[in-house]
Every structure is written in structure tokens, then in C-alpha cells.
Amino acid sequence: MNELHVTAEPGVPQVLTERALEAPRELVFRAFTEPDLLAQWLGPRAFTMRVERFDLRDGGSWRYVHVDEAGNEYGFHGVFHGEATIDGMVQTFEFEGAPGHVQMDTVTFEEADGVTTVRTNSVFQSVEARDAMVGSGMADGMGQGYERLEELLAKLEANR
Amino acid sequence: MNELHVTAEPGVPQVLTERALEAPRELVFRAFTEPDLLAQWLGPRAFTMRVERFDLRDGGSWRYVHVDEAGNEYGFHGVFHGEATIDGMVQTFEFEGAPGHVQMDTVTFEEADGVTTVRTNSVFQSVEARDAMVGSGMADGMGQGYERLEELLAKLEANR
């Protein structure tokens, strides 16, 4: 079974993750860049997701909201730096519950033998902000998201 | 004399700087956010600067070019995350000579007793990219820029 690997070294304001997916990277890239697909997998299972803006171009902004079972809403927003391509995408990311703390995320997609490895690289303004994000259950939420993504990719592959 | 303080710890993909300026922060903020003023001080003395885009709003993009005495051009571009305010601004930054390497810069302006302290916080996708930026003479270029900024601020104060 594929697992999410997370690297968060002490004293370094960065988190690196890696996750293998049994799918071609064209399909994985679509799941990251088409808001209708993104909303079906990003985040923990207990949340539903509403994508309010997703303007995928250099300087385009995005905003999405996670809604928990009690109806609480958690907003996130940022902007895209440069063009998103199948080789990678860069964007800023701010959780609206901690305004003023901004991180920069880089995602890359590498395919070999039918397996696509997704790598994320998040850098934070401080180690404290990084630790807060890790402490909020980031890895657990991402892990559940990737499991949902696997299910979505299997469905998309079956319908091709 | 005010000096530029630079912190670049080994193994950490971040550079922190701090510089005191004998000027009110309103004026310092203008020098950072009005392209006509920015072009008069940002970067080493041996370069002239051409600001090609400076769309100071959430998701707005910027691009400027440094031109050395031999006419060689060095382009830089990025996007603004969130609104720039006198409390601070966040933007991405990419040197076009090293495409695909993106950093995120946060600048804050703090005033006490007529002295404004400018702090910059740059985070990089890797320690290697951080080291390359530091090795390119970043601190020397910034130091010269701040000296030019001091001269500009003195002129602006005299003309108020």
C-alpha cells in the first residue's frame, strides 16, 4: 500500500511530502487543477469542500472552504506563481484562521512505470508557523486526502 | 551608522535581514511600493533599474529588470499575496536567470522614535537555492540598495 511520507526537520521552516499513486500523471495533474475534481478529494473525509475561486494562471487567485459535519467553515486562499504545468505548480497558501501567516507550496508530478509520485514542498515564514501547521493535523488530513484521491483516480480511469 | 544585518543559518532555507532607517515608516513604505521611487534605490549602485510591471494588489504581478554598465539585463518577477499595507507585504520572487526557483518574501516596517526598521524574511524551496542566492552577493547588493534608499529618503524628507 502506498503511504504518505512526511519530512519536517526540527528547526527548519519547511515540510516535504511524497506520495505514490497508481495512475498516469496526466490524470493526477487534472485532479490537482480542475476545481470540480479537486473538491472531491482534497482534505479529510469528514469535510466537504467548496471551491470559490480557482483562477489557474500566473497571479490568479484561489479560495476554497472546508466545511465540517457541524457546519463550521474553514477558509483558505492564495495566488498562483507562474503557469501551472504537468511538471509542477507554485502557489501561496494562507489559512484564514491564522491570518498573516503565509506559506509557499510547490507541487511536482513524476511518473515512472505507471506510478506517479506527487511531491509537495511547503516553506513557512517561521519554524513556529511550520510547527503550528504540522500540529494541526496536516499529515493526517493530507493522508486521508490522498486516499480519497486514489479512489477518485480509479473511478476516472474506469470511465476513460 | 546603520548597517544591514543578515541571518542565514546553515541548513535552513531562509534569509532574515534587518536594517534601520532614519525616516518615518510612511515614507519608507512609499519607497517600497511606488515604482518610480523603487527604481531609484533597489539593487547595487552599478545597476540601473527598469520597472516593467508593478500591479500592487492581491494577485497582482510585478517584473523589473536590472541593467549593468555593459548593458546586460537581469529580469525578476513575482506576484503579490494579499494587500500590501504599511504593516507588511508578501510576494513571490523569481530570478529569471534561474527559472523555476521561487522564493517568498515578507517585508515589515516598524517605527520607533523616528527610526523605521525594515525586516525581510525570504524563504526558499531548498537550502541549495538559498545558498545560491546568498552566494550571488545578495547581502552586498541589498546593503548598497539600502544606502541608496537612505539618500532617497533624505531627499524626499527635504522636499516635504
pLDDT (tens digit per residue) in A68-109 = 999 999 999 999 999 999 999 999 999 999 999 999 999 999
Tell whether the model's pLDDT for residue A48 goes beyond 90: yes
- A&B contacts, CB < 8 Å: 75
Q: Three cell numbers at A100?
A: 498573516
Buried b / exposed e over B27-62, threshold 16 CB at 10 Å, is bbbbbbbebebbebbbbbeebebebeebeeebbbbb
Q: Cβ B13–A125 below 8 Å, yes or no?
A: no
pLDDT beneath 70: ranges in chain B: 1
- Touching check for A92 and chain B: CB below 8 Å? yes
Q: Cβ B123–A94 below 8 Å, yes or no?
A: no
A58: part of which helix (H) or strand (E)? none
Q: Are A28 and A22 in contact (CB under 8 A)?
A: no
**What secondary structure does DSSP assign to B95-115, as a single string?**
ETTSTT--EEEEEEEEEETTE
For residues A9-13, give the mean pLDDT: 97
Smallest CA–CA distance, residue A157 to chain B, in Å, is 31
Residue B147 backbone phi and psi in degrees, to 5? -65, -40
Q: Three cell numbers at A70?
A: 457541524
Please name the amino acid found at residue B13.
P
Chain B residues near residue A86 by CB distance under 8 angstroms: none
CA distances from B157 to A145, B115, B153 (A): 55, 13, 6
For residues A123-141, give the mean pLDDT: 95
| Residue of chain B minimizing CA distance to A59 | B59
Name A108's bridge partners.
A119
Q: What percentage of chain B has pLDDT greater than the value 90?
A: 96
Average pLDDT, chain A: 96
User: So what's the pLDDT on residue B2?
Assistant: 85
CB contact residues (below 8 A), chain A span 18-47, against chain B: none
Q: Are B121 and B16 in contact (CB under 8 A)?
A: yes
User: So what's the pLDDT on residue A71?
Assistant: 96
CA distance B72 to B93: 20
User: So what's the pLDDT on residue A2?
Assistant: 85
The conformation of residue B47, written as its DSSP 8-state character, comes to -
Smallest CA–CA distance, residue B157 to chain A, in Å, is 31
- Touching check for A82 and chain B: CB below 8 Å? yes
For residues A18-45, give the mean pLDDT: 97
* CA contacts within 13 A on the Cβ side of B82: 24
Name B53's bridge partners.
B63
Q: Cβ A11–B12 below 8 Å, yes or no?
A: yes
Tell whether the model's pLDDT for residue A148 goes beyond 90: yes
pLDDT confidence bin for A1, thresholds 50/70/90: low
Task: Name the residue among B17, B19, B61, B5 with its Cα closest to residue B153.
Answer: B19
| Residue of chain B minimizing CA distance to A103 | B104
CA distance A64 to A52: 5
Q: Are B82 and A102 in contact (CB under 8 A)?
A: yes
Tell whether the model's pLDDT for residue A141 goes beyond 80: yes
In terms of Cβ atoms closer than 10 Å to its own Cβ (0-12, 13-18, 19+), residue A125 is buried
Q: Three cell numbers at B122?
A: 525570504
Name A19's bridge partners.
A118
User: So what's the pLDDT on residue B1?
Assistant: 63
Please name the amino acid found at residue B81.
H
